[in-house]
Amino acid sequence: MRLKVNYLASTPNYMSGDPDLQFLLKGGDLLKVKSRSWRKTRFFRLNDDCKTMWQQTSKTFKSDSGFSLEDIDSVRYGRQTEGLRKYTDLSVEDRCFSIIFKSRRKNVDLIASSKEEAKRWVSGLEKVITGMHNLNRQQNTEHWIYNCMHKADKNADNKMSLKELKHFLRQINIEVDDSYAEMLFKKCDRSKSGTLEGSEIKHFYDLLTYREEIDVIYAKYASTNGQMSSGDLLDFLQYEQREPVSSEYVQKLIEKYEVDEIAKQNKYMSKDGFLMYMNHEEGSIFNPAHKGIYQDMRQPLNHYFISSSHNTYLMEDQLKGPSSTEAYIKALMKSCRCVELDCWDGANGEPVIYHGHTLTSKVLFKDVIKAIKEYAFKVSESFTVTSQYPVILSLENHCSVEQQKIMAHHLTSILGSALLTQPLGYQMPTTFPGPEELKGRFLIKGKRLNKLDATFNNNTTEDEDSVSEEDEAAELKEAEQKPKEKSSNKIKLAKELSDMVIYCKSVHFSTFEHSRDNHNFYEMASFKESKAMNLAENSATAYIHHNMDKLSRIYPAGSRTDSSNYNPVPLWNAGCQIVALNFQTPCKEMELNEARFLPNGKCGYMLKPEFQRDPASQFDPKNLSVGPWLQKKILHVMIISAQQLPKINKDKQKSIVDPLVKVEIYGVPADNASKQTHHIDNNGFNPTWNTDFQFTVHVPELALVRFVVEDYDAASHNDLVGLYTLPFTSMQNGYRHVPLLTKRGSLIPSAGLFVHIMALDG
């Protein structure tokens, strides 16, 4: 249903009257904690727009700072952050809660006056945030526009003057000349009172949000007395959207989205109902059939791309930034399924995690394992569900034998039965189990003293020649930082830790032939990006076959001290599974990673194409011969329009976006391409392009499609407005809405592109 709003009122109706909402709107004092000594009372309340929080000092009521609910990642009850655990006592556990942000903004740690009050804050915030997330695109638009109207109503008289209307138009990112604004105002001011109120504001809203392109599409198919019958809608879905659907499906759509009861009874879809349908997931560019788990999850583990993080403990750069359990939590909540632990001897016999030989801060190994245990498979987090598929703990081990034993103890005591310490089954395996069989389990990746069959025949002979590639990788990084130092590539290994390595034994890579002849399926190598890129470029087919039998992990060069990332696409093209990236860095490479793992329930595992799993395959990404990988498509993309693009320079009231749209393809070298529209001056609210692009895509199963909206600047680099990337094979044909995300991957609620997509056989 559409939001029923008073367009100059302050509270949207999706929660009006809710006691939790009223509690938040009233607000109250909370104790803000930054350290043992810094504890100050602050007044918090939800603003009337129900989208932002206001933080004030309780004595002076002077505004201190605020934040948007859209920036909140989660709200955690209890002492669930490093800060609260460090600076508060167990006695206040049930009065504590924390607000966690999506960006690098620091957590807000708070103590309420009672357990009941703390729970009320947590449940209230979760309810409002969930309500915001559940709004459809049309409701988000209405909520956003009425909020801008409310801000423009400077004297709060629930009326809109011509001056306020001009201010409102700038708020919504559209620049119009005075004569147009006056014409619009006079057209709506039917009472000739000099202000707009009530139904006049509704009329103004309808004029403003009119979508001519939707009208044209609707009129083309509404052939039954100007209405779209169920038969007309079926024609639209089958011929325009290329969806093989039935009459029963059409009827369900009408029941679900039609807002007019009479039309619903007559099995018609009105224009409003059609717009409602287009703004929901069925009208999205992303195929809703790919939203949940849809792939076979019982294939061997090495047959999947696995979402993987490098130096997971770091929040910022590689030299002096903080190490934190929070970095692990954020990566796991993004369904990262392979995290890295860089382990060193710490004080008081407790191993620590940090980037060795640098000024990065240290975090206790046991605290990291506790955080991983808590969040790896979490299902109760508000508005987030974590993958249930296995998590690989990649150990970069620099500890003494004594502290390795402490590591083994913490892994066993904290992870318990979830830690895999034996191969599945009763005999020596010849291949990996699948993600489904390993649900809820932790796998340790690291050095092992002997072969895996020792777990069945009690063979405890140490393999003196084995070298942990993780150790070698660390030495390479140390060598880059301290070139004069020479270190041994051998470390002594505690049997207790060694025995935990089951399916991911680290070994040194020499050649593909050597690996094939000497290494078992569970023995895996790690490759520095330059080595991996060289193999992918010059020996791709051999690399692909290597990855049909074994796992490969790729990590960024040690020279990337700013935590930048390499392009993961060439490594996926070569079948590499664990392509580890710096998750803390928002960049194009991380956008591509998030797009690769967007389908299949965002579970962190994507089944590789058959031609990367079939031993008979001769697929080479660089030299495309005839084979099952060659499924040539001609992709037609029309960029029609955009809606409610955010202002980039919010500090300047008169700064309006000049948008342009880029469409980019990432895949095998022959498919990489980029095209862009012209820019449109001074219109971020409803710009229209109607620009056609055509791309040839040879290997669609490996291709990603990226939409980027930029604010054109003739004098300097264009600013990012929003973006969206998805796999080619998860894209729907026809007229589709494209959601837009920030550079950190957060949804921009009211913004989007409207496009027409058609992928035809080439």
What are the Cα distances from residue 118, in Å, to 114, 314, 381, 676? 6, 30, 16, 50
Per-residue burial over 291-330, b if 16 or more Cβ lie within 10 Å, else e, is: bebebebebbbbbbbbbbbbbbbbbbbbeebbbbbbbbbb
Known binding residues:
32-59, 311, 340, 342, 396, 445, 447, 526, 553, 656, 658, 682, 711-713
CA 599/CA 15 separation, integer angstroms: 31
Question: Per the structure block, which two tokens stand in for 238?
Answer: 């089958």
CA 185/CA 201 separation, integer angstroms: 10
CA 152/CA 161 separation, integer angstroms: 9
Known binding residues for Ca(2+):
311, 340, 342, 396, 656, 658, 682, 711-713
Q: What is the 3-state secondary structure (H, E, C) of 552-595?
A: EEEECCCCCCCCCCCCCHHHHHCCCCEEEECCCCCCHHHHHHHH
- Of 64, 50, 35, nearest to 143 (Cα)? 50
CA 117/CA 23 separation, integer angstroms: 10
* Spatial CB neighbours of 98, under 8 Å, sequence gap ≥ 6: 75, 76, 80, 81, 83, 84, 107, 108, 109, 110
The amino acid present at 386, given as its one-letter code, is: T
Catalytic residues: 310, 355
Q: Which residues pair with 55 in a beta bridge?
A: 44, 65
Q: What is the 3-state secondary structure (H, E, C) of 106-125?
A: CCEEEECCCHHHHHHHHHHH
Asked if 696 contacts 632 with a C-beta cutoff of 8 angstroms, the reply is yes
Question: Per the structure block, which two tokens stand in for 519?
Answer: 């290494």
- Of 582, 562, 580, nearest to 571 (Cα)? 580
CA 184/CA 7 separation, integer angstroms: 17
Coil vs helix vs strand at 704: strand
